[in-house]
Amino acid sequence: MKKKSSYEGLQKNIRTLHTPEIEVWKNQYADNRYIVHIDIPEFTCICPKTGLPDFGTIEIDYIPAKVCVELKSLKEYLTFYRSIGIFHEHFVNKFMDDFARVSKARWVKMIVKFNPRGGITTTVIREQGSCKG
């Protein structure tokens, strides 16, 4: 019989996970199309199978519309995941859903690269909206 992980079943409610709010501020240059690039070199979450920490880097590019993302609240949002067991793919989708919902950006692209574990590196990329026009 296969042993169950202590994190088994926690992935069912990822979409409804209550996270800290990402705050925004009014974009004074909403009439301009420009890209904001954010690098987060020290992201940490927990492997839902082993309970060990997963480390990764996050790159976000977005074209703001009426608001821009406030970075301190973004840092608090991401710090929340340090104690959360979550699959890499689930994290990127949850993060994009939350980021896109509050930023209402014209376009967002996230590249999340997790450090090697057992000789395997995972990179998850998600893009939403259009960077054209």
Query: What digits encode the pLDDT tens for the residues 17-35?
Result: 899 999 999 999 999 999 9
Q: How many CB atoms lie within 10 A of CB 128?
A: 15
Is 31 considered catalytic here?
Answer: no
Q: What is the DSSP letter of 14?
A: G
**What domains appear along the chain, each with residue ranges and CATH number?**
23-128 (3.30.1130.10)
Is 68 considered catalytic here?
Answer: no
Residue 60 has pLDDT above 60, yes or no: yes
The one catalytic residue among 47, 61, 98, 131: 47
The one catalytic residue among 31, 39, 45, 54: 54
pTM of structure? 0.89
Helix (H) / strand (E) element for 71: namely helix 71-79
3-state secondary structure of 122: strand
